[in-house]
Structure 1
Amino acid sequence: MDANFLMNIVKSNNLDENIKLLSASIDDKIVFSTSFGIEDQVIFHAIFSQKIKNIETFTLDTGRLFPETYALWDKTLLQYNASIKPYYPNTEQIEEYVQNNGINSFYTSVELRKECCHIRKVVPLKRALTGAKIWITGLRAEQSDNRNGLNVIEWDEHFQVFKYNPLLHWTTVDVKEYIKKNSVPYNILHDQNFVSIGCAPCTRAIKEGENFRDGRWWWEDQSKKECGLHKQ
């Protein structure tokens, strides 16, 4: 299996068709990671509305998510009668980090913020991707300049997995239209100018004129805004 082989499977412009073809064509483990953002809800609908069983859906519960995110998690499970596997941080690592640095120490330095992201997100992600050959994500080119250079199929050297970005060339309008057309539940924070929703202490609504990622780790320089899940 290589990138060209996968591209031939997902060459349609139809998301639902591509997801169905991928699931029918690949015997290896396929996983989809959701953070319950609006893009992820689109992909979730494409999987579960078609009752696809061989794509494992998981989420990383950092322990610091918004109440609105947990509410959407519950609503999504009920609406689709779905299964979402949660992955949690290592208890001892979190306890040591908070004891040594404080509960909100990520505000004090980039290094401590990245350490918090590593414990709460990257380490659980490594467990979630164990044995997976394809990782489906909700990345879009419109989200940042770095993501604008991605391909629909990427080889992730760090996690040793093919990354499939089915919404890469979708616009925000495309996403919202799909949500409305299919009555897909979404995080109500999106209606309050939260465009990229992560941990509550590290996410705010964006202001007029700001870009997609300005609401994440807003106290840091733009060039340092990554958590290790996606190296782009």
Structure 2
Amino acid sequence: MTIIPTIDLVDALASEYTDKSPSEILELALSQEGEIAISFSGAEDVVLIDIASHLGKPFRVFSLDTGRLHAETYQFIETVRKHYNIEIEICFPEPEAIESLVKQKGFFSFFDDGHQECCGIRKVKPLRKKLATLDGWITGQRKDQSPGTRNEIPVIQADAGFSGPDKQLIKYNPLANWSSADVWNYIRMMEIPYNPLHERGFISIGCEPCTRPVLPNQHEREGRWWWEEATHKECGLHSGNLKK
């Protein structure tokens, strides 16, 4: 029987599983005692859901609805729900906080003073609330997604950003060693759903005002918050990636 890894065991597990397949890492994660769920939003996360669906283990999926997603993204979430016949736990931001931000600064304050405040309200706080109910979460992070923040992520890590004083939260990144090409080869081979925005040049997809297509040979992260520094783009969901 697998027990919930303590902080003393996380580094050892990360080393043991560093070269193992996403399926093996996912199987370990889903064997963990306690509550664990797959975080779903993009192409990588559907790969995780597809792999999990073939492992024969029960799994949970949650997604953040910021209220500013593309219409295609909402349709994509529904497509995935029906395709795998799963429940997707939707996490919403607190309406009072959004109302206060919009009242004080309007709908597009992030263009003037950075995306952190808006992302904090619409993404980070709802995620923190959800993770407080979990013992571990599974993400689609890859090392090649961001040159400045994700190039050293391990396949298993203690989540420094969301662990509490009395609880160790474990983060699993089964696709950490995969490239974007690996992800899309899997999607095409398995014929699984993907966001139709990808067909229009969108690679990394977030909220509608803060996401745009990228040009040939541009890094995928350049389509997110393009008015900010290209190498340090994190909304706060993976704040532990940011070097102090």
Same fold (TM over 0.5): yes
Counterpart for residue 46 of structure 1: 51
Are residue 31 (structure 1) and residue 31 (structure 2) matched?
no
CA root-mean-square deviation: 1.8
Amino acid across the alignment from 1:69: T
Contact 1:89 1:121 survives alignment (8 Å): yes
Which of these residues, 10, 13, 16, is aligned with residue 20 of structure 2? 13
Counterpart for residue 204 of structure 2: 196
Q: Superposed, which structure 2 residues align to 1:156-195 within 5 Å?
A: 156-160=159-163, 161-195=169-203
Counterpart for residue 91 of structure 1: 95
Superposition deviation, residue 8 in structure 1: 7.6
Q: Call closer, same or farther: CA 1:51–1:68 in 2, change over 3 Å.
A: farther
Aligned residue pair count: 227
Superposition deviation, residue 156 in structure 1: 1.5
Are residue 136 (structure 1) and residue 138 (structure 2) matched?
yes
Contact 1:30 1:135 survives alignment (8 Å): yes
Unaligned runs of 5+ in 2: 164-168
Superposition deviation, residue 223 in structure 1: 4.9
Q: Deviations over 1:152-171 (max 9, x none)?
A: 11112120121111000101
Contact 1:10 1:22 survives alignment (8 Å): no
Q: Deviations over 1:80-135 (max 9, x none)?
A: 1111100000010001110111012211211xx21110000000001110132221
CA distance in 2, matches of 1:13, 1:158: 25
CA distance in 2, matches of 1:179, 1:12: 21
Amino acid across the alignment from 1:67: A
Q: Where does structure 1 differ by over 6 angstroms across 4 or more consecutive aligned residues?
A: none
SS at match of 2:144: helix
Question: Taking every aligned residue pair, what percent have the same amino acid on both sides?
Answer: 40
Structure 2 length-normalised TM:
0.86
CA distance in 1, matches of 2:229, 2:11: 37
Contact 1:195 1:215 survives alignment (8 Å): yes
Q: Which has the higher helix share?
A: 1
Which of these residues, 128, 147, 152, is aligned with residue 149 of structure 1? 152
Superposition deviation, residue 23 in structure 1: 1.8
